[in-house]
Amino acid sequence: MIRQFEYLTALASERHFARAAAKCHVTQSTLSAGIKQLETSLGVLIVERNQRFAGFTPEGERVLFWAQHFLADYSTLRQELGQMDGNLTGTLTLGVVPMAESVVPLLAADILEQHPHIQLVVRSLPSTEIERALRDFTLDVGLTYLDHPPSASLHSLPLYRERYILVTEKSGRLRGCRTVRWADAAKLPLCLLTPDMENRRIIDHHFRSVGAEVRPSLQTNSLNTLWFHLHQGSWSSVLPHTFMPLLVDNKKVMSLSLVEPEVSSLVGLVAAHRDPVAPAVKVLLSIAKSSNFRKRLEKISKDR
């Protein structure tokens, strides 16, 4: 039944039989047969079928709910058994808003040093998708914005306050400056994330607070695309201060602190309320609370 539950959750994630089968590394006929066996075993129709996947029946939604919980508990059990044997294994899936990705290596280094057999999977996701994925157990932990409290089904651990810098050409009109006002930054040719990203909504709010309307000349949902354009064109961008280490000795671009106003946003970890907590999640939360990790975060904050 474990494998059948895996087929079901893969189908819920992919919403497509062929993609779900590929995710499970089986043929489409094997996946379909497994789900039909589960339907026969439980005596209910789980999947609405026509030419393609059409969704779950009401009974199927309940089966999916319990399948997600069962697989999460099974993963926790396996981690606990490995921990008892002195060898914590398993997969820890972390969902991260794009602008917090620069913090992940600080966590990952400690996790893999302490428990080298844990497999860490990092997924770049919007904040709204992180909360949904935590509820259906496709994520173990999220790293996201906490200015709006998460739902009652989640608990949070604040990590740092994200401040903002303008990244722009060293040879541009702001050369020699150390700070720039939000209102003046709005007049530059900007490359920003797309409006569906939480970071962009935060930035737009700060621009509006000084009466500035932002019309980016380029928008993207990819940090790589944004970064390439900063290095190969005449664009500027607003980034978190945690990206400062990437700018050290950079010959193309420089950073300026954004002022008037000086603002920040709270960033931290979120996880589902579960009992027991998966050992790998405990490890991550313990590292995030440690003085060593906090000192390294503080160092990033001072490298401005």
Tens of pLDDT, residue by residue over 128-144, are 899 989 988 889 999 99
Average per-residue pLDDT in the chain? 90
User: In the prediction, which pLDDT does 256 show?
Assistant: 93
User: In the prediction, which pLDDT does 16 show?
Assistant: 92
* Over residues 173-194, mean pLDDT: 93
User: In the prediction, which pLDDT does 296 show?
Assistant: 85
Q: For residues 263 and 252, what is the distance between their CA atoms, to the nearest angstrom?
A: 26
What residue type is 31 in one-letter code?
L
Q: For residues 258 and 212, what is the distance between their CA atoms, to the nearest angstrom?
A: 14
Task: Give residues with Cβ within 8 angstroms of 179, minimum separation 6.
Answer: 256, 257, 258, 259
User: In the prediction, which pLDDT does 301 show?
Assistant: 61
Residues of the chain with CATH 3.40.190.290: 164-263
User: In the prediction, which pLDDT does 285 show?
Assistant: 94
What residue type is 56 in one-letter code?
F
Level-2 CATH architecture, domain 2-68: Orthogonal Bundle (1.10)
Task: Give residues with Cβ within 8 angstroms of 14, minimum separation 6.
Answer: 20, 23
Which tokens is 182 given? 């939000």
Residues of the chain with CATH 3.40.190.10: 88-161+266-302
User: In the prediction, which pLDDT does 53 show?
Assistant: 87
Facing residues of 141 across strands?
94, 271
* Over residues 95-107, mean pLDDT: 92
Please, what CATH class does the domain formed by 88-161+266-302 belong to?
A: alpha beta
Strand order in the sheet with 265-272: 118-124, 90-96, 141-145, 265-272, 154-162
User: In the prediction, which pLDDT does 302 show?
Assistant: 62
Q: For residues 260 and 284, what is the distance between their CA atoms, to the nearest angstrom?
A: 36
44 in Cβ contact with 67 (< 8 Å) = no
DSSP state of 51: S
Residues of the chain with CATH 1.10.10.10: 2-68
Residue 166 has pLDDT above 60, yes or no: yes
Q: For residues 80 and 116, what is the distance between their CA atoms, to the nearest angstrom?
A: 16
The single residue listed with the structure tokens 């003085």 is 291
Q: At what angle do helices 279-289 and 104-114 cross, to 10 degrees?
A: 120
Q: For residues 53 and 125, what is the distance between their CA atoms, to the nearest angstrom?
A: 25
* Over residues 265-285, mean pLDDT: 91
Which tokens is 261 given? 């106003």
* 164-263 maps to CATH 3.40.190.290: yes
